[in-house]
Amino acid sequence: MITINKIWLTADAVWIQAEDGRQACEYFSDYPRLRHASAEQRQNFKADEYGINWPDIDEDLSYEGFFQKKERTDLYRIFISHPELNASAIARRMGISQSLFAQYISGIKKPSKARLAKIYATLHNIGEELMSIGSVA
C-alpha cells in the first residue's frame, strides 16, 4: 500500500505525493466526469488509505493507479471519444463495480475476453436502444 502525504489540485490535474517523496498526477482530461466537473465539484474530494473519491460526480482514483503506466486501450478511446457515456451507469447495468470498470477503461486492469465481449455487447445494446427512439413501426 502507498502512503500519501499530500494531495493537491492544479487547473488540469490532481497531484499526489507519496511518503517516499514520489509525485504523480492524473489529468482531468483523462476522466470524463472530472473533465466536465466544475472547480467546486473537483475540490470536493475525500481521501482514504486507498485513493481519492469525488462523491458529487461518482469518480474514484486509486493511489496505485497514479504510479502505473497507462495503456490507452480501445475502451479508453471509446469513453474519451464519447463523454456522454456514463461509465458508472454502464458498470451498474453490467453488475460490476465502477472502480473495476474504471480500471478496465484506464488500462490498469485487463478484462478477460469474455468480460470484454460483454462490455462491447452492453455498449451495442445501448446504441440499439438509442437508435430505436423515435422509430416509426
What is the pLDDT tens value at each position of the chain, 137 positions in all?
A: 789 999 999 999 999 999 999 999 998 988 878 988 999 999 999 999 889 999 999 889 989 888 887 667 888 888 877 878 888 899 999 999 887 888 888 787 889 999 999 999 999 999 999 899 886 65
DSSP E strand boundaries for 10-128 = 13-18, 23-27, 46-47, 51-54, 59-62
What are the cell numbers at 99?
A: 472502480
Range 72-75, long-range pairs (CB < 8 A, 24+ positions):
72/107, 73/104, 73/105, 73/107, 73/110, 75/104, 75/105, 75/116, 75/119
Domains in the chain, CATH or no CATH each:
1-68 (3.30.2020.40), 70-137 (1.10.260)
- Looking from the CA of 122 toward its CB, the CA atoms found within 13 Å total 19
Verdict on whether the full-model pTM lies above 0.85: no
